[in-house]
Amino acid sequence: MSNPLIGRLERHGPLTDEEKEVLQRITSRTTIFGPHETIVPEGSTPSHSSLILDGFASRHNHSLDGRRQITAFHVPGDFADLHSFVLKKMDDGVAAVATCRVAEVAHRDLKEITKHFPHLTRVLWHTTLVDGAVHRTWLTTLGRMDARARLAHFFCELNDRLGAVGLANDDSYELPATQEELGDAFGMSTVHVNRVLQDLRGDGLITSRGKLLIINDLARLREEGQYSPDYLHMDQKLERD
């Protein structure tokens, strides 16, 4: 079974056989989480970081009155909480949106990588920096775009992120997130999400068949969402020396 993390990291330059063997070894311990099950509890101090191998997950915070804010969606090849290796106590939580197969990567193994594999350390660091870039971009869309543009932007982003790991074909992909989850991510009520989706479908920009999202006109959807993939840094090459 292919490892989506290796595929993602090698977009930034080839890994050595030894580096790939290390990644295969440290991601071999896996757990299955069903839809909506907690992968990492808020406020916990995990001894491992969670790598999504299959499925779809979300990162979230809850306000004191119990309302949820989804701050990220994670796809195969994403570490959902690599930052817990350094920060220790989680200030957010991770949950499965759909059934997930998750590799539990021990922090002691990550520590060994930082000691003995400097290039691999930099490449993994790059993934956390991209997470930060995605957060900043989402903040911009929430503060400066209307609801229609926010969803259009997200659908374009997900098309690129899933395409990078071979899970988007001809601008179509599985989107298991519910309308409630999309609302919790993009500051909208479920009714408002439903209305925006109807508008995008009515204008011929997207088609949905169950959980399958089909982008009918990518150029128009990108224009609608003011989308540029530059912040994903997907093909940036990282030097070894």
Range of the domain at 223: 138-232
Residues 75 and 142 in one domain: no
In a domain, 208, yes or no: yes
In a domain, 122, yes or no: no
Residues 11 and 111 in one domain: yes
| DSSP code per residue over 205-222 | SEEEETTEEEES-HHHHH
Residues 100 and 68 in one domain: yes
User: Can you give the CATH number for the domain in which 99 is found?
Assistant: 2.60.120.10
Residues 192 and 93 in one domain: no
How many folded domains does the chain comprise?
Answer: 2
pTM, to two decimals? 0.95
Residues 21 and 82 in one domain: yes
Q: How far lies 77's CA from each of 36, 43, 102, in Å?
A: 19, 24, 10
| DSSP code per residue over 110-149 | HHHHHHH-HHHHHHHHHHHHHHHHHHHHHHHHHHHS-HHH
The structure tokens listed for 141 are: 């869309």
Each residue's pLDDT expressed in tens, for the chain with a length of 241 residues: 589 999 999 999 999 999 999 999 999 999 999 999 999 999 999 999 999 999 999 999 999 999 999 999 999 999 999 999 999 899 999 999 999 999 999 999 999 999 999 999 999 999 999 999 999 999 999 999 999 999 999 999 999 999 999 999 999 999 999 999 999 999 999 999 999 999 999 999 999 999 999 999 999 999 999 999 999 999 999 998 7
Residues 108 and 27 in one domain: yes
